[in-house]
Amino acid sequence: MGKKYFAWLLLGGLFICYVISNGVILNTLPIFYPALLEEFGWDQAKVTRPAQMLFFSVALISPFVGLLLDRGSPRRIMLTGILLMTAAFFAFAYIRDLGQMIAVYFLFSLGIVMGGIIPSMYILTKWFVRYRGIAVGILLVGSSFGGTIFNPIAAWGIGAFGWRGALLLLGTIAGVCMFGSLALLIRNHPSEFGLGPDGKVLGDSSGVNKEVAQAAEGPMLGSTLRSPSFYLLMLVTGGMWFCIVAVIQHQALYFKDIGDKLPASAGVLSAFFFCSILGKIIFGKLGDHYPKKTIMFAATLNLALGAIFLYLLGDYPGLVWGYAIVFGIGFSGTFTMIQLLVAGFYAGKAYGKILGLVTMVDTISGVMGILVLGQLRAAQGNYGQGLQILIAISIIAAISVPFLTPPKTVRPQ
């Protein structure tokens, strides 16, 4: 395969790393919660506390990693993150109390920030401009793909080896996949191959030099922080992350609550993440051809409908597969469009710092989603009021999307 196609191979390497960083750590580890509840006697609020800390740590660390990306080698930063994530998997298998689990999740948080979505998006925006929408969609499929294939693997491992043995299995798979991808497929910039974005050869007559110049433009951090539109974008993305992370971290526990009415939660979760694969590809492709705000609006409405289905499951358990489809597609489409809007608005010299700030706000919102849902469940004995709050927030975020405006330094999205 010629070097002009290396961008797609690189995307494959980033995809594999993202399968582990988000697909396994965020979307598969919650399947271990019921086993932890049984062994340690924790309640729902306690068992999700490490995840709350993880997202809070990610929020604090992200701006600093964004600054490093603007100044250093993204590949070296990813190597550090991969080392930390791999170590955390093996350490998790030997925890004996909640404090140790929190320490392990702190290692996960460092690894996710340095080896996950932030450096992956930073590298991807250097390699793709014209095909950025579909490239981002493919990358973000990694988290859904991880949930789809590793939830059954983890469930099988728990049954076969116990939850500790299952974690050792996941850690081995994670280390081999991530280190191999970084060594063979991931490079910082297409200029290392004499290429511009989308695999075009530098110096040819196809407009690549113009695309390289456009990729280097973008607003500076100071002007971004003075723009009201930036804070409206934070309201939208933060609200979406509040809902997305809260549901992902609590849905297995919610299914356990209504288990007498709802069978085979592991199968539902696999269907959920499989549908999110479709959502990321579909919305990523649409983002290359239609106004991004329009597609973002459609995705957030889909998310709100899925949240309504989730709320109704206690009375109408037959909606569970409808929930898996609608919310799976909705949350993945929203996530994809968030990344495309931020890259489309702010890619340039300060993109790393701005992406770090966006990630900080989104992850703090995710922490609050986990915390609010967990505390309401512990206080009231059910998830009803918490899910009502999620529905309201998702609707408010959807209504806000049409009012988003790009910085003056880039073309409207």
Average of per-residue pLDDT values in the chain: 86
Given CATH 1.20.1730.10, say whether it is the number of domain 3-403: no
Residue 218 has pLDDT above 80, yes or no: no
Exposed, middle or buried, 30 (CB in 10 Å: 0-12/13-18/19+)?
Answer: buried
Other C-beta atoms lying within 10 Å of the C-beta of residue 317: 15
Phi, psi of 201 (to 5 degrees): -80, 130
Domains of the chain by residue range: 3-403
For 312-362, the pLDDT digits (tens) are: 987 888 888 889 899 989 988 898 899 888 888 888 788 888 989 998 998
Taking residues 197-224, what's their average pLDDT?
Answer: 63
Other C-beta atoms lying within 10 Å of the C-beta of residue 412: 11
> CA nearest 345: which of 405, 386, 288, 258?
405
DSSP string, 352-379: HHHHHHHHHHHHHHHHHHHHHHHHHHHH
Q: At residue 407, what is the residue type?
A: P
For 15-35, the pLDDT digits (tens) are: 999 999 988 888 789 889 989
Tokens encoding 119: 């450096």
Coil, helix or strand for 168?
helix
